[in-house]
Structure 1
């Protein structure tokens, strides 16, 4: 079994800090472009459309086009656009969604329900890495 810890290197694993600054990714095209060249990708993200603390894994194409996705519709649309214009190396994308409050309070840290979901989310990431 693979241990996924900070600093782990895996050919299928890029982490936020390896390609972006601490500002986060709020633009779907930037995220899609960062994934070009990988065969597949797992995007782990907050999901205000799920019950708080629920963990669900989707193929990107199975998500509703209007899902309340924090990175916006732009990510899915950007990947589809890159594929349509013939961009080589557009990956197969899955989304690991973790339910969060629709209007989270301002502050640091995670809600107890989201924190409780982390072991299941980590297990899903490990399973994906071993597929």
Structure 2
């Protein structure tokens, strides 16, 4: 059975500096919750994300990325279908389009609408807590991008 609500799935690891950006977004969303929106945190990747999405037909995935093409703190907001690369610059959403296609082809229930909100980051390899200043400043913009994506779904 599919939930009538929307899932906001925030991906990250709090011990990998900027990789925790989406977790900070989750904190902000939970501080001012919206009706019908469920916020979850996960450090999973690929097919394992389907477990977190189970029961939802509409999902906003929030993640940290490092493409190298944009300045740290740049916010991207796109439907999943627009992400063409099978891999990606994020340790979490790598292969998400492929994983969903495989699951769909196998007859597994998958969300019909997924939107990705990602923030460009600087530091994801260093073990430590705390966002870099550029990413810290971008968190309110990421939160607003997530709220807009939720409203559009």
TM-score for the superposition, normalised by structure 1: 0.77
Would you say 1:55 and 2:80 are equivalent positions?
no
Q: 2:145, 2:118 → 1: CA distance?
A: 10
Question: Following TM superposition, by how much is the alpha carbon of 1:6 offset from its aligned partner in structure 2, in angstroms?
Answer: 3.3
Q: Which runs of 5+ in 1 are unaligned?
A: 17-23
Q: 1:73, 1:104 → 2: CA distance?
A: 16
Q: Which runs of 5+ in 2 are unaligned?
A: 1-27
4+ residue runs over 6 A deviation:
none
2:73 aligned counterpart, secondary structure: coil
Q: Which residue of 2 aligns with 1:10?
A: 35
Question: Following TM superposition, by how much is the alpha carbon of 1:112 offset from its aligned partner in structure 2, in angstroms?
Answer: 0.4
Q: 2:94, 2:124 → 1: CA distance?
A: 19
Question: Following TM superposition, by how much is the alpha carbon of 1:66 offset from its aligned partner in structure 2, in angstroms?
Answer: 2.8
Would you say 1:100 and 2:125 are equivalent positions?
no
Contact 1:83 1:90 in 2 (8 A): no
1:15 aligned counterpart, secondary structure: strand
- How big is the alpha-carbon RMSD for the aligned residues of Structure 1 and Structure 2? 2.3
Q: 1:26, 1:68 → 2: CA distance?
A: 15
Contact 1:25 1:71 in 2 (8 A): yes
Higher-strand-fraction structure: 2
TM-score for the superposition, normalised by structure 2: 0.68
